[in-house]
Structure formats: structure tokens, C-alpha cells
Structure 1
Amino acid sequence: MKTKMTIKRILPVFIVTAMLAASITACGNSGNSGSNTGSKAMTSSNKAASEKFPGFKGKDFDGNDVDESLFSKNEATLVNFWFNGCSACVNEMPALEEFNKKLKEKGAELIGINAGTASDEKGFAEAKEILSKQGATYRNLILPNDHEYVRKIFSFPTTVIVDKNGNIVGDPIVGAIEDEDKQAKILKIIDEIKAGNGVTSSVTSEQSAASDNPTAPLYEEENKIFAENQDTWNKLFSKIKKDQVETNVEKPYAEFLKEQLEASKADFTEDEIKTINEGLAKIDEIEKKIAELKKK
């Protein structure tokens, strides 16, 4: 199988999934590559009322301690999850900077959460440089790598709306929120939150629901392979250089990862090499099945 491919996630706490196509609106989505073949919408807040954003203790990018009490400062808070290697995340930052001004007029705020890639000194410096170059001055946080909600995310960027009581409102919005139509719908949702009459508006995600995508179960199989030996795979992903993440490669996904292993083999134990090779053999078979489905 020959396809154009980029690696969607190079993170110390997340599962890597295959990504097709050079131009996308979401990084790391399970089986969609940013196409709009279906939709998952953020709908009512009835469900959200019983789901709190999990508590946390972390730091903002200025080194200040933060926790879930920050939600009480605003009528609503948009929490935008991103990581250093996600081009869709980075590209929407200037639009988010402007959108944050509109949010503040309504007593709301946008905050970014860097998922994993700013967890060490080098990654943090890179994250700060990205924000600076994109002119993004809105508040950004770093949460612990094992935070309960962060670990649930399979696509980037993902944005969730949290009310002042810490309740998650509706479903996550998967994909960029830089276009005016989505922003207008989000502002309407914030008005509904402030009115206290329940949320009836919705925002359509870029990612199709799993039931609409026959390849989704196969990508989930890949996710499980990575999840079973997270530390070993994370070690491999950390070896992949940024330019390799951003460049399309005319190689199958498993072959690309195999090359990364060969290039840094001296840094791995025999058991780690065995684990990766066994996983890559399974991934290669899964990718062949995905290719067949995509032909239909």
C-alpha cells in the first residue's frame, strides 16, 4: 500500500494513529483524516450536567499553579487541546486569539491545553515559540500526562465547553473552530449557558462518528496496539524529528515506523525492539485491510 502519510501524534501520553492526506482539519483523528463524510454534533447540556471536567492540578505557561477552580472565573470556558506537531492546531491559533476577544465580551474565555509535548524543557520551549509566532496570547496550561480527560482525546485540535460550575457542556468539538460559522454557534451556546435555560444549539465536528466510518474499528485496533505498550511506543515516537512529522512520506505507515526504529535501534533494548516489531507486523495487516475498505 502506497499512500501519502504524515504521523499524526508524536506524544508521550497518547496513542499514534495513521493519517492520510496532506491537507487536514484535524490531527490524530481515528480513521477520518479530516474529511467531512459525517458529523458528530455538540447538542444538549442535559448529559453534560452530570459530567464534570475532571479535577486537575497543573501549571500555566507563566509557571503559575492552576486547578479546576479557574472555570468559576467565567460564565463558560472553551478548552482547546493541542500539541506541538499538530499543524491544524497551530494554524488556527491566530483565529483563536481574535475569537478569545469576542468570548471575553460575553464573560467567557478560551484556554489552550498543550497535550504532552510541553512536558519537558525542550518541548515547552518549542510550544512557547509556536504560540509567540502565531501571536497567541490567550492562557495556555500544561496538565499532568495522565490526566483523565486528556487521555480520552483521539483527535486534535479538540475543544470542549465547560460552564462556571465545571460541567462539560455537550460533546467535544473535533477539528478546528476558526471559521466564523462555528464561532457564531459557540457564541450562541454561551448565551444559552448564561441564560440558564439549557443548551439547544450545536456545533458540527469535522470528524465523522465511528458508526459512519467502516475503517474506524480498524484504527481502534491500531490504537489498542499502541496502548498496550505505551511507554515503548512513546520512546519510538520521541525519536521522530519534527520535519519528518510535517513532511508527507510515500511509504506505508508501518514501514515508516520501522525505519524510525532502525535509525535509533541502539537506544532500545531487545525486548523493546521485539515489542515494536511484533506490533508493526499487526499494524501492517490492519493497514492492508483499511486500504481495501477505502477502495470500495
Structure 2
Amino acid sequence: MRNKKAKSITVLILSLALVLTACGSKPAEGSTENKAEETTEEDGGGQASKTVFGTFESKTLDGEDVSQDIFSKADLTMVNIWGTFCGPCIKEMPELGELSRQYADKGVQIVGLISDVSDPGDETAEDIISTAKADYTHMVASNDLQNGILKEVYAVPATYFVDKDGNQVGKAYPGARDMDSWAKIIDEMLAEVQP
């Protein structure tokens, strides 16, 4: 009797811990050869830079081709990895949409990576994005991304900042944040990449 009660309490605690930490990552199915590169280079400040996304090819949710070249379009790219199943991901998207509009002329772009969608045109993802007015680019989880960055992500949302060469700036940010918190982080990361 006592052993059964202890097991029940343990299961309850573990379940609660999982729910409170974040949504579990649920990458899309399928895999191919890993093309992601993770290299370390010395930058001018003596800090190691890491190309966390490596070389990849994917599609946007709208079906357009996209690659690591997307990062060259801005001094700083905020990549928000999210899932259609993740409440905290969806909750922060309207504010990410607003930030995308506010920072568009400051050398910053926001790109979404949908961890559980591998094909363009997914209606669930499109509905979420439309409702949230998160009108920035969203990439689907191609095999390259599944076998690259998504292997390193254990919960969503997870956010990375990269410079125009795809090198990681600062640390990875697990979990959702409010608009003011993200704005402060974006300003700090932007100061690192702009002269």
C-alpha cells in the first residue's frame, strides 16, 4: 500500500514538473543525413561564435525556399522555435509579431521555426499565425533542421539570436517571455552585432 502511494506521488510530481518547465519538443517526422555544421570561430572580442543552424534548406510555411542565407538579411535574427501544440509558444506570438514590426527598420528580423510542422501550408500553423498577427517569416522543420538545431532543442519555445553570418549571439533562451523582456534582450544582442 505504502509503495503504491509513493509511486503515485512520484508520478504526480514528475508530471507537474514537466508541465511547469515548458512544452515538450515534438519535432516533425522523418530524417536524412545531418548537414548542420557547428563550428567555433574566434571573433574580435575573443568570445567563441557558433553557427548553430549550420547549412540548411527548408521552406517557409508559405512554400518559399529558404536557407541559412535568410540570416544575411539583417544584422540580428531572433529565431523562435515553437510548436502548434505549445500554449506558451502561442501566447507569446502576438507580442513577437509586434516586436517584429517595431524592430524591422533597426536591423532586426524575427523568424519562427515550427518544430512539429514539416510541410508548407499546414492549416493549424497558419491559423495560429493569423490569429496572433505574427506576420514574420515562419520556417517548417525540414530534414536538415530536424537533424540539426532541433536535435538540440528539448522543449519549446526556445529562442536563439544569430548574426548575419549565422553565428550565435549570446545564449539560447528557453521558455516564453513578455514583450518588454524580449525588447531588452534584443537591444542587448543588437549592441553586440552593430558597430
- Normalising by structure 1, we get a TM-score of 0.51
Asked whether the equivalents of residues 61 and 119 of structure 2 are also in contact (C-alpha less than 8 Å), the reply is no
Structure showing the higher strand proportion among its residues: 2
Matched, 1:119 2:118: yes
Q: Distance in 1 between matches of 2:188 and 2:169?
A: 13
**Aligned mates of 2:112, 2:122 — CA distance in 1:** 14
Taking only aligned residues, the RMSD between alpha carbons, in angstroms, comes to 2.6
Distance 1:156 1:19, change over 3 A: farther
CA gap of 1:144–1:22, structure 2 versus 1, over 3 A, is closer
Looking at structure 2, the residues matched to 178 and 134 of structure 1 have their Cα atoms a distance apart, in angstroms, of: 14
Q: TM-score, normalised by structure 2?
A: 0.75
Unmatched 5+ stretches in structure 2: 1-7, 26-44
Q: CA deviation at 1:147?
A: 3.0
Task: Measure how far apart 1:27 and its partner are.
Answer: 1.6
Structure-2 change in CA distance of 1:52 and 1:26 (3 Å): closer
Indicate yes or no: 2:51 matched with 1:55: no
Q: SS state of the match for residue 69, structure 2? A: helix
- Contact kept in structure 1, 2:170 and 2:189, CA below 8 Å: no
Displacement of 1:142 in angstroms is 0.8
8 Å CA contact retained: 1:177, 1:183: no
* Residue 152 (structure 1) shift: 0.8
Residue-pair matches, total: 166
Check the 8 A contact 1:100/1:109 in 2, yes or no.
yes
Gaps of 5+ in 1: 6-17, 30-43, 196-296
Distance (whole Å) between structure 2 residues aligned to residue 25 and residue 104 of structure 1 = 31
1:66 is matched with 66
After superposition, the C-alpha distances for 1:152-199 in whole angstroms (9 at most, x for unaligned) are 10121000001001111122111113241342132222122112xxxx
CA distance in 2, matches of 1:118, 1:55: 20
Q: Is 1:27 aligned to residue 23 of structure 2?
A: yes
Q: Sort the Cα spacing of 1:156 and 1:105 in 2 relative to 1 into closer, same or farther, 3 A.
A: same
Code of the aligned partner of 1:137: D
Matches for 1:161-172 after TM superposition, within 5 Å:
161-172=161-172
Runs of 4+ in 1 over 4 A off after TM superposition: 2-5, 21-25
Q: CA deviation at 1:105?
A: 2.8
The DSSP-based 3-state class of the residue aligned with 1:141 is strand
Q: Any idea what SS the aligned residue of 1:171 has?
A: coil
Q: Distance in 2 between matches of 1:19 and 1:107?
A: 41
Q: CA contact under 8 A between 1:78 and 1:111: conserved in structure 2? A: yes
For the residue of structure 2 that corresponds to 1:169, the secondary structure is coil
Sequence identity (%): 31
- Mapped to 1, the partners of 2:113 and 2:66 lie a distance apart of 12
8 Å CA contact retained: 2:77, 2:111: yes
- Counterparts in 2 of 1:105 and 1:155: CA distance versus 1, 3 Å: same
Larger-Rg structure: 1
The 8 Å contact of residues 52 and 149 in structure 2, kept in 1 or not, is answered as no
Give the Cα separation in 2 of the matches to 1:120 and 1:141.
Answer: 9
Provide the C-alpha distance between the structure 1 equivalents of 2:50 and 2:17, rounded to a whole number of angstroms. Answer: 38
In structure 2, C-alpha distance between the alignment counterparts of 1:25 and 1:45, rounded to whole Å: 33
Counterparts in 2 of 1:136 and 1:50: CA distance versus 1, 3 Å: closer
Contact 1:59 1:141 in 2 (8 A): yes
Report the alpha carbon displacement of residue 52 of structure 1 after superposing the two structures with TM. 4.7
